[in-house]
Chain A
Amino acid sequence: DAGVIQSPRHEVTEMGQEVTLRCKPISGHNSLFWYRQTMMRGLELLIYFNNNVPIDDSGMPEDRFSAKMPNASFSTLKIQPSEPRDSAVYFCASSFWGVGRSTEAFFGQGTRLTVV
């Protein structure tokens, strides 16, 4: 398995532009997580999906952020309009969750976003 695949790896955009980050989870995993990591705040959970359904989006900073998971093998995180304070590394992770057990999350390599 190729692991969690994110694209693009790096993104530089101007303030006000729309940014779309993409994620392909590991096949067979039923949970998907979007995280943001900055030096100041560490790794923060933005939103997570279970069986393609958004379960908790309380970490999404504001309405400029939206996430979708149209099927089990693809998810997007969109920022519109982007702002300089959105600059961070965005990680997607996936795992399998079943009754009575939890498994580790496997992370993609991240998208380093810079908004200028």
Chain B
Amino acid sequence: RKEVEQDPGPFNVPEGATVAFNCTYSNSASQSFFWYRQDCRKEPKLLMSVYSSGNEDGRFTAQLNRASQYISLLIRDSKLSDSATYLCVVSPTWDGTASKLTFGTGTRLQVTL
């Protein structure tokens, strides 16, 4: 089983729609969670961190479910500019030494007119 799993998509949605992505992780000791966005032929960039209590940033809402070991990203009122690949990122428990990020393979979103 992969450490981080995502539905590759593509998710094709009309402009203005609401779309949600899920991501599951296998390491129950994971402590840090992020969503990254990657545009075509560009580098990944942090979209938002995911906190235990859930967090919202404008049209974007991220949630964490530790019991089921998944995180989600909800995008409301989709814009054409939201078209990209969304990468789920998980980090293991911090133990005082260096850690690493594990990336999912990404979910591709295509927003259309």
Contact = CB atoms under 8 A, between A and B. Distances in A.
Interface of A: 31, 33, 35, 41-43, 45, 48-51, 55-56, 91, 95, 97, 99-102, 104-110
A63 B102 CA distance: 23
B98 A31 contact: yes
B100 A48 contact: yes
Nearest to B98: A50
Q: Is the interface of A mostly helix, strand, loop or mixed?
A: strand
Contact of A45 (B32, B43, B102): B102
Contacts of B103: 35, 42-43, 45
Contacts of B91: 102
Interface in B67-113: 87, 91, 94, 96-106
Interface residues of B, number: 23
Interface stretch (B21-29, B44-52, B54-62): B44-52
Contacts of A45: 100-103
B31 interface: yes
Contacts of B106: 42-43
Contact of A55 (B45, B97, B102): B97
A62 B44 CA distance: 25
Given A42-B104, A102-B32, 20 more contacts: A33-B101, A42-B105, A42-B106, A43-B44, A43-B87, A43-B105, A45-B103, A50-B98, A51-B98, A55-B97, A55-B98, A55-B100, A91-B44, A97-B94, A99-B96, A100-B94, A101-B94, A104-B46, A106-B46, A110-B43
